Structure 1
């Protein structure tokens, strides 16, 4: 492979034509972030020493758990960043040293976060009183996924390549948590942690089994979502295994909603307007074009159950108080395109449609056939502004 730090003139020309971004910053971050691997080795040694001393992570000094947690986070983020860069270079050998904008944004988010975890791991190694849980809300979540449709094929390749090494380290962490013995009062918490790991492994295995040589946009998205779920769960599992005291207050990712089969098209409880903002519902029901657009939406939806499951996910978040209805400055309460879904604002961090949402983020549900003929199901993130446009 060509040296990404010394691209030729021809490489620069190809990258310019393809509108790719110079990866020199990413390569610098990659080089600096390799310190994460050293901290992971230090964490492994600390775990072994703990056993040799006859102690467990349940009664270890807070600095030990802090080291293990910070080292895991830095290692996972560094691994993901490197896999994405390498997968892009392999897929585009003519532009090594340059990457598409979406890849640049994603890799930058991961690799830029490595330094903070490496720093905390080193602090834990020199200060036996250091407690990372007193400084940060834990377990931390992965940086936001760079959203793009369709997801580049090399991104899937990178995610799949990252699974084996991350999975191996998770297995080592769970073994280390148990090998010195688990106090009876904590056995249920450890069993729950193992269940989370099994959920992540199942999602990863399912994604791998879905792979085919033929490209299919819907299958591609399903694989991507399962891999993201697995990685997000493993990011948490690694932290919880490093610092099991966090298990008592841990709230797992909200399970996906399951729609009533009678609410599906053709069922006795089916409501074609169920996705529409209730505040403006009557307006749309009186609009002939809107009625036709709603009918077309359900005819073109290849998986209405998945769409209603997404709605159930949003409804559950609303019922829990995690989100609230949003009105723009002019009083608008719905998105401008069919099915004119209500706007929401996040009150507590949560994940919807596989996407992590932060406090005060705005979003709405999307279910529509795009210009390319692909049905799009998910969420659209704001901020939202008033508009007189209507998309049928």
Structure 2
């Protein structure tokens, strides 16, 4: 009746918190041991550095997800177990990358020469697309920021106690100090401004500072674990080249199957119903040049290595999306923006293009869909006469 959705899946992710926090506690104890043995963040083995990065990222993301859930339950005790859809979406964005970071941390613990297969420092998942954010989100951010700040302070104490031995290391430490100073300043400003019941104007200002503080602390923890990455953290990547214009439907050279997973195209091309579904998709697309431009962005990102084909935990290929045009599912390796959506490492996404429900007033859908994908035997052909169910 309140329009909320079940938090059952989110609660399952929350129950996995213990292993994340145990790993962070282990990391902080190992740092004390390393300091006693005369080791510094610069002299740790690659596997030890990777463990630190992955453990930190998993901790921050898990803390954010837990804090947002707790804030909603405390504010609305009558609907515990249910949350607003926007909260469910935001919390899932935090929770979804936790297990991949945790898995890599465990692998790095077992292998001193472990090398990360994703680029760090990584950015946080995108914040919910609503301004200002709900009061419960602000409350969750505040609690999460305080918890993350405490552990960031411990991380800084660890690296500050390790005297750099080279000029380059000193520059890296100075850069990390700069990011930490920015984070603590934003955090204190937000703390002081918040008060008990902030007005709308104050709410928006506090939200801005909280987000900036959390993002900076997230960065600092990664740089402490891998201080050499501090040099790259200050570098702004040059803009990517614009994708070349693609032939449009009806023009020579146009490939109607360009959106379909390349390894599955032959299968669908033999299916008469699939061929008709693809034809209708392009007939109903009001701006095929926009669809093809986003697809070109995806292909360029794949070529650069920013994204890769999504795989299951056992290393096998996850497969394609279940609905027309049966696009490939990707995993993000490096922070990248596709179709106007900012993506961060370990997120999984698909280019969802659909005409479902168009004959019933549902608008054409063209979006980068970020989600947790699982295997299914279902297969849909994007009927414009039926309401979308995904």
* Match of residue 193, structure 2, among 210, 215, 224: 210
* Match of residue 251, structure 1, among 234, 240, 244: 234
Is 1:240 equivalent to 2:258 in the alignment?
Answer: no
Is 1:321 equivalent to 2:304 in the alignment?
Answer: no
Conserved 8 A contact 1:33-1:111? no
Measured at CA, do residues 175 and 86 of structure 1 come closer, stay the same or move farther in structure 2, by a change above 3 Å?
same
Secondary structure at the aligned position of 2:97 is classed as: helix
Residue equivalent to 2:15:
31
Conserved 8 A contact 1:362-1:383? no
How far off is 1:234 after superposition? 1.1
Q: Distance in 2 between matches of 1:226 and 1:208?
A: 9
How far off is 1:214 after superposition? 5.3
Residue equivalent to 1:157:
139
**TM-score, structure 1 normalization:** 0.62
Is 1:111 equivalent to 2:95 in the alignment?
Answer: yes
* Match of residue 154, structure 2, among 172, 179, 189: 172
How far off is 1:322 after superposition? 5.8
Residue equivalent to 1:140:
122
* Match of residue 79, structure 1, among 43, 47, 63: 63
Q: Distance in 1 between matches of 2:82 and 2:197?
A: 27
How far off is 1:211 after superposition? 2.1
How far off is 1:106 after superposition? 0.7
Secondary structure at the aligned position of 1:359 is classed as: strand
| Number of residue pairs the alignment of both structures matches | 265
Q: Distance in 2 between matches of 1:125 and 1:321?
A: 36
Q: Where does structure 1 lack aligned partners over 5 or more consecutive residues? A: 1-16, 255-316, 333-344, 350-355, 364-381, 385-392
Residue equivalent to 2:32:
48
Higher relative contact order (CA 8 A, sep 6+): 2
**TM-score, structure 2 normalization:** 0.62
Measured at CA, do residues 56 and 331 of structure 1 come closer, stay the same or move farther in structure 2, by a change above 3 Å?
closer
How far off is 1:216 after superposition? 3.2
CA RMSD of aligned residues (A): 2.9
Is 1:360 equivalent to 2:341 in the alignment?
Answer: no
Residue equivalent to 2:254:
none
Residue equivalent to 2:110:
126
How far off is 1:169 after superposition? 0.8
